[in-house]
Amino acid sequence: MTAESERGAAMRAATRLRGRVLLLARAAWVAVALLIVAFFVAGEFLYVAELRTTVCEEGAEVCAREALLTPGNVREPGLGNGEVRPDVRDKWKADGQ
């Protein structure tokens, strides 16, 4: 072995983690991974809660009185691209929305 390759081998050996330091590094890695998963799951629950509050599920009379969207009047199957049924669009225009 040449002096340069011996020096490279010594540097690689010095950068390897062993014992308690390795255990601490693994624990930190697992903690960060669990934190990321927890934030993702919490975000999904918040997103679902937001979707539920965006669409009125109280009943036709309450939703009509408050001019809120219901699952039935948001979109007709086949319209696509976020288009709204014409009767709902006209109601929004009449309400100034």
Q: Are residues 92 and 73 part of one domain?
A: yes
Whole-Å CA distances, 39 to 33, 43, 44, 97? 10, 6, 9, 35
Q: Are residues 60 and 50 part of one domain?
A: no
Tell me the C-alpha distance between 34 and 11, whole Å. 32
The domain in which residue 33 lies consists of 1-54
pLDDT digits (tens, 9 = 90+) for 37-63: 999 999 988 887 776 666 777 777 777
Q: Are residues 91 and 68 part of one domain?
A: yes
Q: Are residues 46 and 63 part of one domain?
A: no
3-class secondary-structure state, position 91: helix
Q: Are residues 63 and 21 part of one domain?
A: no
Question: How many structural domains does the chain have?
Answer: 2
Q: Are residues 48 and 1 part of one domain?
A: yes
Question: Given this model, what pLDDT does residue 90 score?
Answer: 75
Q: Are residues 44 and 4 part of one domain?
A: yes
pLDDT digits (tens, 9 = 90+) for 6-43: 776 666 667 788 889 899 999 999 999 999 999 999 99
Tell me the C-alpha distance between 31 and 23, whole Å. 12
Q: Length of the chain in residues, anyone?
A: 97
Amino acid making up residue 56: C
Q: Are residues 46 and 12 part of one domain?
A: yes
Question: Given this model, what pLDDT does residue 31 score?
Answer: 98
pLDDT digits (tens, 9 = 90+) for 61-70: 777 777 777 7
Tell me the C-alpha distance between 66 and 68, whole Å. 5
